[in-house]
Structure 1
Amino acid sequence: MLKPRVQVRQRQRPPLHLLPLGGCGEIGMNLTLYGYQDHWIAVDCGMMIRQDLPEGPLQVPDTESLASLGICPEMLVITHGHEDHIGAVAWLWPKWRCPIIATPLAAGLLRAKFAERELETSSLQIIEVDEGFESGPFALRLLPLTHSIPESCSLLIVTPEYRVMHTGDWKLDPEPLIGEPTDPERYQALAPVDLVVGDSTNAPLPGHSRSEGEVARALEKTLAGCRGRVVVTCFASNLARILALGRAAARNGRRVTLLGRSMERMVRVARGLGYLEDFPPLVPVKDLGYLPPEEVMVIATGSQGEPRAALSRLANSRHPDFELAAGDTVIFSSKAIPGNELAIGKLHNALTRLGVGIMEEKQFPDLHASGHPAQEELRTFYGWLKPTRLLPVHGEYRHQLAHTQVAQSLGIEAPLIPVNGDVIRLDAQGLSVEKRLTLQERIIEHDKVRPLDSMDRRARARLGRHGSVSLALPLTLQEAGWVRIGRLMLDVSGTARLDEDSFAEWLDDTLAGLETTDIDTVKQQLNSRINRWLRNHLRHEPVLFLHVMTMGDLFFGGRPRRFGWSLTRSSTERPASIIASRISASLRSLAISSSRRCSSSSAFCSMTSLMTSESLCSCSMDNWRAAARATFLLRAIFSRDSAVILLPPPCGRNWNPMRDTIVDWMLQQSISLN
């Protein structure tokens, strides 16, 4: 009789969990969490710009569901300093308060962001490239891997059971302008690895990405053939490109100016760390007008058509110190991020209307090099690492699918195309999705992280197509013509920001050229001309609410007169303090009843309803301020209804100085509440 065999069960290995919250199915906003035995770390924490929404707000990953799952990262590791990898740290990290591991450049950029939001920086821990560190059961090491920014790294993640390579953004550049080429032996020594979590951005493209050295030579040659002033736009964080442009400008006898706060900050931090040592001295933008056009080169932000970036301001003649003119050239040393094509097209149209020449990547491919690997680079890199499995991230679905196909052609398992919110399990059986979290889109609005549901998105998109501009215009007729009184009282909602200084100058010139003395004709002519100005400078036509007032409406004698709508029926025998209190009480009730139909984001009230009283002349200035402040609270409630202005009639010799004081103060109050 056979003896029963002793069965030895294979030891059950604890699984490794992965949770991408950004960067899967989209370009940007990268954030991936790794969990092992209830210990979690986060890798990168980026943002992306929502060009489909008015004014292009920042979107950050949704981390609200982490607390319900009992997940709180014990460490945040940054692979490099691009905004799509660090841009959300200052917004999301305060919930975690964990150590932040970063190389010197990324740490310097984060320190500047933390200073802007008044966050303490003691949690920032700087390590050098190729230095190891630990977090609970995780042994970690940042390894150098070339990209378009110095100190870009991959992250080797080792647990007692698994070895994972998180690539971050990368390419195999044989001629990087900053740093050394990637060392094959360093990665060959790590083979084989259980899993690569890899960059998919350029996976659909055959061949090999262009080197930064090639782009530098092409830019120098192109710059030599340009006449007039040259503006080059690129990503603010592409320090290798900025260095190439500085060198090309110096060799072609051009002086360099930077436009864009993010680019200025990037260059400042990089110089402080010893990068860009041979970058030429910068010329202040205000001094460019003293230089001949053929000696000017500007490096500007805004290559993706961002409405608030430097290049958009130049294209729409909204920069206070520098203007483009016919014969100038704008070079796009960048590639359109998917989703930004419409905004970039509008930018090209605006530049073309100015008579500016445009050179972009589609017609001049040598002027840009991607920072992400094409198919041959993927094959080379995976030949070094010999991974068992691939999880494609950092890209839209089509990029992830192409990445999967490349991996499978090499015999690498790639069973999943993850989306944000997938809780992914790696165990002895391979990769699987345990569950999928429901995530909300979250944007930065009014200095806070707020959810953006689908209804809000539709409303914002609709408003973004048109927007509104409200203008209250007090005028007086003098011998030289119509003259505007006080500062500009302007409210812009749902459209690109106006350069108020240039608009005010144009408006004053237009008023001076009006030949009619009839106020209705003035309003009619202004309405058409302002609409034309808005159309030319915003490249679309927002809805205009124009409220024109004359000094004759503001000052009159005799019996009280009312125009439009008012809160009280009579004010002939009530002091200003009583009127102020009644207005305030009315505002409280009106705010409740009107909250459903009025939008605070586009709140604007015209000054067309007036109440006067002989008895108000004796009121003190404090009572006048109380009454006037209450009336201007209306601006926060109604979008197009009239506000109430209390002014005394002319009565006695003390009226003139008192009138000027009151009007000046009221105009200042109206501006402060815009």
Structure 2
Amino acid sequence: MTDPFKPGIDELLFLPLGGSGEIGMNLNLYGHDGKWLMLDLGISFGDDSMPGVDVVMPNPQFIAERAQDLVGIVLTHAHEDHIGAVPYLWQKFRCPLYATPFTASVLRRKLAEVGLEKEARITIIPMSGSREIGPFTVELITLTHSIPEPNAVVIRTRHGAVLHTGDWKLDPAPLVGETTDVAALRRLGDGGVLAMICDSTNVFVSGTSGSEADVRRSLMDVVGRLKNRVAIGCFASNLARVETIARVAEAHGRHCALIGRSLWRMLESAQENGYLTDLPRFVTEHDVGYFPRENVLMICTGSQGEPRSALTRIARGEHPHVSLEAGDAAIFSSRVIPGNEISINRLHNDLIRRGVEVITDHDEDVHVSGHPARDELAEMYQMVRPRIALPVHGEARHIQEHVSFARQCQVPEALAPENGTLIRLAPGPAEIIARVPAGRLALDGKALVPADSEAIRHRHRLSFNGVIMASLVVDAGGRMLAPAQVSLEGLLESEDAAKAIARIGKAIADAIDELPKAKRSDDAELGEAARLAARRWYQKAFDKKPVTKIHVIRV
């Protein structure tokens, strides 16, 4: 069968399957001359709408069905929302992986956790390097971000150059890694750029994002004023922040401890590639208790209030080795990711109840973003001067604002991509030519299921509405041989539940007695009559509509 979406030799296509209309879960495809190239394959995290789900990722069905035409996956940098789905989804493609040395080190550890380290081979592209991948020539341009080795990717075809920025900012003093290769960006712009696919996270933020050097100065001052044990929450991947905190600890005569396995794994990857090799030895969580409280500075995972993270367990008094007490301090050196406000506020309150002082970026300058604010976006457009702007890495409101901003920056064409919009970049004006299937997969235990699957929707209803379950034992004619066995889950306290169970049992018996004889001989009819009777009684009594399940046992 002919593939209607197979890219022609005379066209260049762009297709986001994740990260357009949301922050996280990046998956972007470029199509040309019968082949596809993927940039990034990331995850996001579950929320209250998906109970029991911690990890969410793009549904790659479109490209999985065309895996034979996928020439490779290029990873812009090592953040979870750009590489986190590779261990879960790579077997659907089994294609080459391309990354810089540090990103490859981080990814190898992830692949090893699922037993794919030998099968999923990673080809290293050095910083500022290039590679021929199928009909695409890929070149890397060094940028700055909150992790080592972030790269913009230049994709060259016969139709010209496309700049895919990945995540970036313009930081004159990133402290870890190189500064942005402004000269390369200017050369690219001078040579002509067909399109720029660009980060939209901070498009509403005026000015610049600030420098990591500014955070170091501020943390030096803040920690210097604190007298007891201090914990600093930050992202494990923000190695510039980790180095800053280690230097702050050293300056104030404190031992720096890493609390959380992901911090140790990230440190190992960094040191394999020559980063953070000249710092004092970090203390483990097992040894923290041996030092006086005023001589410890801890770096902790869990700044977003993740349920099983180090900071959350410390705040609840559940961590086996580490504690915070009245008079101690917790500094949150990270941004609030949209959707995490409730869990972060809960974490703050748990700490405050223990008498811990909580310090955030609203109180002190303890964090800068890794994404460009408006002045940086304007400077990037001035350097690159693309014909087409395609904002990604943002919610719908970010992307629409970025389209407007790009036009203010004199970009001739600007479109607002959504996941599943197939966009022709060349030839001719950029335009959306089709919409293809896009969606989300949820990691439910060890299984990958559609995020909108019946199982997850049903679990969500259960979490809000509770459940009534009843078992009926009837004879061949549908007469009840014993009272219905009814149980309530997530609905009432025990004393009220006992009364409700008795009345629900009676409502079920009455409904079955009133059922015509022919329907009583049909399990489905009998079960549905019992279900409606139980649910209607509960709705009338308590104005709620619980999920109701009936089991019919005929003897």
Range class of TM-score, shorter chain: 0.7 to 0.9
Structure 2: which amino acid aligns with 1:213? A
What are the residue-to-residue correspondences of 1:439-458 with 2, within 5 Å?
439-453=438-452, 455-458=454-457
Shift of 1:465: 6.7
User: Which among 158, 177, 180 is matched to residue 179 of structure 1?
Assistant: 177
* CA distance in structure 2 between the partners assigned to 1:204 and 1:114 by the alignment: 36
Instruction: Tell me which residue corresponds to 2:401.
Output: 402
Contact 1:234 1:334 in 2 (8 A): yes
Report the CA distance between 1:70 and its aligned residue: 7.1
- For residues 41-440 of structure 1, the aligned pairs below 5 Å read 41-52=37-48, 53-68=50-65, 72-119=69-116, 120-121=118-119, 123-191=121-189, 192-364=192-364, 366-440=365-439
1:428 CA drift (Å): 3.2
Residue identity opposite 2:309 in structure 1: A
- In the TM superposition, residue 277 of structure 1 has moved relative to its aligned partner by 1.7
Which residue identity does 1:235 align to in structure 2?
F
Any residues of structure 2 matched to 1:519-530 within 5 Å, and which? none
**SS state at 2:202 partner:** coil
Deviation at 1:335, TM superposition (A): 0.6
Answer 1 or 2: higher relative contact order, Cα 8 Å, separation at least 6. Answer: 2
Q: 1:179-203 CA distances to partner (integer Å, 9 max, x unpaired)?
A: 2221322111111201000000011
What CA distance in whole angstroms lies between the structure 2 residues aligned with 1:410 and 1:200? 14
Structure 2: how far apart are the matches of 1:303 and 1:66?
Answer: 34
Pick the structure with greater CA Rg: 1
Q: CA deviation at 1:448?
A: 2.7
Change (3 A) 1:330 1:70: closer
Shift, 1:413, TM fit: 3.1
Amino acid in structure 2 at the alignment position of 1:33: L
Instruction: Note if contact 1:51-1:306 (Cα within 8 Å) is conserved in structure 2.
Output: no
Q: CA deviation at 1:543?
A: 9.0
Task: Identify if the C-alpha distance between structure 1 residues 284 and 543 changes in structure 2 by more than 3 Å, giving closer, same or farther.
Answer: farther
What's the offset of the Cα at 1:336?
Answer: 0.6
State the partner residue of 1:605: none
User: Which has the larger strand fraction?
Assistant: 2
Q: Please, which runs of 5 or more residues in structure 2 have no aligned partner?
A: 1-7, 468-489, 495-526, 531-548
Contact 1:56-1:307 at 8 Å conserved across structures: no
1:136-186 CA distance string (max 9 Å, x none): 211111110111111110000000112100000000001111122213221
Distance 1:270 1:23 in 2: 26
Counterpart residue type for residue 14 of structure 2? L
CA contact (8 A) 1:111 1:121 kept: no
TM-score in terms of structure 2 length: 0.80
In 1, the alpha carbon distance for the partners of 2:9 and 2:403 equals: 26
Counterpart CA distance in 2 for 1:430 and 1:362 is 44
Q: AA paired with 1:372?
A: H
**Structure 1 length-normalised TM:** 0.66
Q: Is the 8 A contact 1:219 1:248 kept in 2?
A: yes
1 CA distance for matches of 2:447 and 2:224?
46
Aligned AA (1:183): D
Q: Is the 8 A contact 1:237 1:263 kept in 2?
A: yes
Match of 1:18 in 2: 14
**In the alignment, is the contact (CA less than 8 A) between 1:55 and 1:308 conserved in 2?**
no
Cα deviation code 1:417-475 (max 9, x no counterpart): 1111111111232221112123332111222321121654444445557999xxxxxxx
**Structure 2 counterparts to residues 442-591 of structure 1, below 5 A:** 442-453=441-452, 455-461=454-460
Distance 2:261 2:373 in 1: 32
CA deviations over 1:579-636 (Å, ceiling 9, x no partner): xxxxxxxxxxxxxxx9xx9xxxxxxxxxxxxxxxxxxxxxxxxxxxxxxxxxxxxxxx
Runs of 4+ in 1 over 6 A off after TM superposition: 465-468, 541-545
Compared with structure 1, are the counterparts of its residues 69 and 93 closer, same or farther at alpha carbon in structure 2 (3 Å cutoff)? closer
Q: Distance in 2 between matches of 1:284 and 1:358?
A: 23
- Superposition RMSD in Å: 2.4
The letter of the residue matching 1:420 is N
Q: Deviations over 1:372-411 (max 9, x none)?
A: 0001001111111111110000011111122112210111
Shift of 1:363: 2.5
Question: How far does residue 13 in structure 1 lie from its aligned partner after superposition?
Answer: 7.8
* Cα distance change on mapping 1:423 and 1:456 into 2, 3 Å: same
Alpha-carbon distance change, 111 to 467 in structure 1, aligned in 2, over 3 angstroms: farther
Change (3 A) 1:298 1:304: same
Q: Percent identity?
A: 43
Give unpaired runs (5+ residues) of structure 1.
1-11, 469-540, 546-593, 598-638, 642-674
Q: CA deviation at 1:72?
A: 4.1
Q: Secondary structure in 2 aligned to 1:379?
A: helix
For the structure 1 residues 257 and 404, does the alpha-carbon distance in structure 2 shift closer, same or farther, using more than 3 Å as the test? same
- Tell me, in whole angstroms, the C-alpha distance in 1 between the residues paired with 2:345 and 2:308: 16
Say yes or no: does 1:38 pair with 2:37.
no
Amino acid at match of 1:166: H
C-alpha distance in structure 2 between counterparts of 1:67 and 1:145, whole Å: 31
Question: SS at 1:344's partner residue?
Answer: helix
8 Å CA contact 1:19, 1:421 repeated in 2: yes
8 Å CA contact 1:51, 1:343 repeated in 2: no
Please state how far the C-alpha of 1:122 moved relative to its aligned partner.
5.6
Q: Deviations over 1:457-497 (max 9, x none)?
A: 444445557999xxxxxxxxxxxxxxxxxxxxxxxxxxxxx
Partner of 1:189: helix, strand, or coil? helix
- Shift, 1:351, TM fit: 1.3
Q: Deviations over 1:488-538 (max 9, x none)?
A: xxxxxxxxxxxxxxxxxxxxxxxxxxxxxxxxxxxxxxxxxxxxxxxxxxx
> SS of 2:287's equivalent?
helix
1:222-277 CA deviation, whole Å, 9 max, x = no partner? Answer: 11011211110011100000100010011111111111221111011111221102
Structure 1: distance between partners of 2:432 and 2:32? 16
Q: Distance in 1 between matches of 2:223 and 2:463?
A: 37
Contact (CA 8 Å) 2:53, 2:444: kept in 1 or not? no
- Alpha-carbon spacing, 1:327–1:180, altered in 2? closer, same or farther (3 Å): same
